Structure 1
Amino acid sequence: MAINNSSGDNLQLNEVIVAMVPWPEHGHLNPLFLLSRFIASHNIPVHFLCLTARNHDLKKRLQGVRRNVTDENLHFCDLSVPKTEAESDKDLLLENLGKSICEKCHLLSKNTKRLVIINDCLMITYIRDLHSIPNIKCYSFHFFSSFVRYSTFRQILHIVDEDQDKLVQELGDEFPTVESTFGPHLEEYIQEEREWKLNSGVVLNSFRELEDKYLDSFAIHAEDITPVWCLGPFHMLLESSVDLLNRSAQHVSLEFLDKQDANSVIFVSFGTTTTLSQEQVNELALGLEQSSHKFIWVVRDADDERLDTENNSEGKDGKVVLPEGFEERVEGRGMVVRNWAPQLEILGHPSTGGFMSHCGWNSCMESISMGVPIASWPVHVDQPYNTVFITNVLKIGISVWKWSRREEIVPAAAIEKAVKTLMGTPEGEEMRQRAVELSNKIKNSVSHGGLARKEMESFISNITDN
């Protein structure tokens, strides 16, 4: 296993060094990358330990942006694995990656009084050798929401909760199950996590005013006294975090939005892990066309599943074929963006009034923080739970299609109805107003003196204090 530390190995002795250990897929990388920049802004050295190809993508994001001087404290430690092994066995790749991470952490621990490790919770299986390092503190990052964490644990541990029971009764087979989302091995993972002795705390991409109820309920019912820090939304950790996107200032989608009325455009994007079938693409195109509403649609295939492959997500040449004549028919009203689009800036633009999304938690947090309601179209894992949270708990969105009918092609009529409801009805406007209220709460929370800001300061103190 070759290790290339782009920051060099001749490190001075530090009071604290932070090693960031992400799960090497982009939905997991991005929040920890933002958290890394936030910690580095406190003059703390941060080493981002990930596959070379993934680090390469992140380095490109820092090229040509207005970098904070403290970004000099952010170091990318490039880890490589043999391609022949990676292509044949993903689990073997992760085992080898875990060995490299542990080797690197051993080296880092010799250059600091305390090595703080922030690891994606999914990496626990592969970094067991960290136990042999004497001067470490480990914090587990959970990429999903407190609502998901509580709802899944509740099913597995058979916890009785009147409010949750009522919600499940109301939704019936629309309430997701562990089997239909995370699969059969979640219980094994939960047991492994509970037996993980190094955990000094949990870090969440959320904020307390949004999910405090589920944080408290989880702690009570799961008998979990591990400290929890809600540091989200991660894209708001740094006041200048939007500078990561400033090179997109002239992106064609933003030029399009500049010409539209307030709240008149729906943004359609399904993240980096979803590939729609050709039949589904055709139905989505027809639904958007028949809705008569303005839209921006990001059309792309899912990222390459091979973890050792350079993603190049911002220049991905998708092979999705749109119906003949579609773009000509919607010209001036709808825009198709192939490959990458500046999602955060699009959601933050005053002309954007809705978001049709797979409801991944990163996208949910971005949409909520920008005050944009969601037409939810979940595909797998935590997304169906997020849909319930968005539509039935927060009431800032609608479901495009029933989760119980997820194996079916979503017809154009359902897509058209969802767009019209979200963008052109009093019901949709009420959702928008609730989303704006939540957005204002977030902005107050992350501002100086706010609850989220105090939580951020508490976390930094926790990892640096003796």
Structure 2
Amino acid sequence: MWNGGMVIRNIIEEMFMNLKIAPFHASSVMVRYGKLDEDHEMVPTGFRDLSQPLKLPGCISFQGKDLPSPVQERSSEAYKIVLLACQKLRLLDGIVVNSFVDLERDVITALLESDHDYPRVCHVGPILRTRSTNVSGSNSECLTWLGNQPRNSVLYVSFGSGGTLSQDQLDELALGLEMSGHKFLWVVRAPSGLANSAYLSAQKEDPLDYLPKGFIDRTKGQGFVVPSWAPQIEVLSHESTGGFLTHCGWNSTLEAIVYGKPMIVWPLFAEQGMNAVMITEQFKVGVRPRGDENKNGIVEREEVAKVVKIVMESDEGRELRRRTEVLKDAAAEALSEDGSSTKALSNLAQEWSNLSGI
């Protein structure tokens, strides 16, 4: 790529490293959000009350409950803020998205061919960090443990930078991992009633104090528990890691695909519900555990053990792994010298340089 384009590429990559960038399907619902809101009969109190699944251009259908959390309640301030932001999206010349053609081809095609006044959407991904930061001391111990495990034998469990579970759900997840009999590397945070509480305040407690009594001793050798943070890039790229239980943040989703790890999807907030639907039903590289609606959606230990076994040992899990490998290769191709994302970024850089005189 020519020098001015390289400068702009570096700027875009830095932006993506420091922002939570939504995928094409989330961008699609955002640009349609304002018009959907105008139909008061369709969303009388919020998108959670959609009488029919929402069909987006080029996407599978989404239930109202899977749409981003701020749009669930029409009377909330968050709803109004998001609505205003989405209405302004139509004033943009374009949207740069951290995704790639072979991952969301149908959505991209539908947006390009649509008669609606959508902004142009430019795919430049997957753009990811190549290594984690602050890998030292206790954080590196998990990598040492991982290096002593057989190939594809370990399930990595992490809910991202801010995700937390309730105490009841933490207990069930722990006991389900133990029950599965499979090896696991688990990033544990102290429980909370808010799914994103780790974003809101520092975690001062020792998360290990909240695990079921005797869990650490019983799973010694089977699992490795890391308080609060682990070097995710190094874990996902490791040959011993065979699967990823994830909150479905878009960065984590792309990392799983780039490193070829099938997923157990466990969305908590934001657009993660939409991502979970895409991962399981459109990309078909993950499975989703069922929560007990009679127990506030708690995923019980038997269900946890079931989905772990599906991903780690079943024929279905092997097919998930095969499909993930196909997308892994497609991601690498998109970023190659003649790849779709490289060309898209080069064209974008040329346009910007023409405007700025670089």
**TM-score normalised per structure 1:** 0.61
2:222 counterpart of 1:327: no
| Conserved 8 A contact 1:174-1:402 | no
Structure 1 residue 43 displacement after superposition: 4.3
1:229 to 1:259, Cα distance in 2 relative to 1, 3 A: same
> What is the aligned counterpart of 2:6 among 24, 42, 50?
42
| Conserved 8 A contact 1:182-1:381 | no
Which protein has the bigger strand share?
1
Structure 1: 5+ residue stretches without partners: 1-38, 49-70, 75-117, 121-140, 236-240
Q: Distance in 2 between matches of 1:443 and 1:399?
A: 26
The residue number in structure 2 matching 1:276 is 165
Superposed counterparts of 1:122-133, under 5 Å: none
2:66 is paired with a residue whose SS is: coil
1:465 to 1:397, Cα distance in 2 relative to 1, 3 A: same
Structure 1 residue 379 displacement after superposition: 1.4
2:304 counterpart of 1:426: no
The residue number in structure 1 matching 2:122 is 229
| Conserved 8 A contact 2:94-2:121 | yes
The residue number in structure 2 matching 1:28 is none
The residue number in structure 1 matching 2:130 is 242
Identity of aligned residues (%): 31
Moved over 6 A (4+): 44-48, 159-166, 403-406
Deviates more, 1:192-201 or 1:443-452: 192-201
Structure 1 residue 357 displacement after superposition: 0.8
1:363 to 1:197, Cα distance in 2 relative to 1, 3 A: closer
Q: Distance in 2 between matches of 1:395 and 1:196?
A: 30
2:99 counterpart of 1:213: no
Structure 1 residue 426 displacement after superposition: 0.3
1:222 to 1:358, Cα distance in 2 relative to 1, 3 A: farther
Read off the aligned partner of 1:371 and give its amino acid letter.
G
Q: Distance in 2 between matches of 1:449 and 1:47?
A: 21
Q: Distance in 1 between matches of 2:93 and 2:34?
A: 24
Superposed counterparts of 1:366-385, under 5 Å: 366-385=255-274
> What is the aligned counterpart of 1:146 among 17, 21, 24?
24
Q: Which has more radius of gyration?
A: 1
| Conserved 8 A contact 1:229-1:455 | yes
1:264 to 1:178, Cα distance in 2 relative to 1, 3 A: closer
Of structures 1 and 2, the one with the larger relative CO (CA 8 A, separation 6+) is 2
2:84 counterpart of 1:202: no
| Conserved 8 A contact 1:181-1:382 | no
Superposed counterparts of 1:386-397, under 5 Å: 386-397=275-286
Read off the aligned partner of 1:143 and give its amino acid letter.
I
Q: Distance in 2 between matches of 1:375 and 1:423?
A: 10
1:438 to 1:460, Cα distance in 2 relative to 1, 3 A: same
2:238 counterpart of 1:349: yes
Q: Distance in 2 between matches of 1:285 and 1:194?
A: 43
Q: Distance in 1 between matches of 2:10 and 2:102?
A: 29
Structure 1 residue 408 displacement after superposition: 2.4
2:141 counterpart of 1:252: yes
Superposed counterparts of 1:8-407, under 5 Å: 42-43=6-7, 143-151=21-29, 157=35, 167-168=60-61, 176-177=66-67, 183-184=73-74, 186=79, 189-195=82-88, 199-221=92-114, 223-235=116-128, 241-245=129-133, 247=135, 251-301=140-190, 302-305=197-200, 318-319=206-207, 321-402=210-291, 407=296
1:228 is paired with a residue whose SS is: strand
Read off the aligned partner of 1:227 and give its amino acid letter.
R
| Conserved 8 A contact 2:135-2:231 | no
Structure 1 residue 340 displacement after superposition: 1.3
1:446 to 1:261, Cα distance in 2 relative to 1, 3 A: same
Q: Distance in 2 between matches of 1:334 and 1:404?
A: 29
Structure 1 residue 327 displacement after superposition: 1.0
| Conserved 8 A contact 1:297-1:335 | yes
Deviates more, 1:278-287 or 1:173-182: 173-182
1:400 to 1:374, Cα distance in 2 relative to 1, 3 A: same
Q: Distance in 2 between matches of 1:269 and 1:193?
A: 30
Structure 1 residue 404 displacement after superposition: 6.9
1:285 to 1:196, Cα distance in 2 relative to 1, 3 A: closer
2:329 counterpart of 1:440: yes
Q: Distance in 2 between matches of 1:340 and 1:179?
A: 25
The residue number in structure 2 matching 1:455 is 344
The residue number in structure 1 matching 2:50 is none
Q: Distance in 2 between matches of 1:438 and 1:164?
A: 21
Structure 2: 5+ residue stretches without partners: 40-52, 191-196
Structure 1 residue 232 displacement after superposition: 1.5
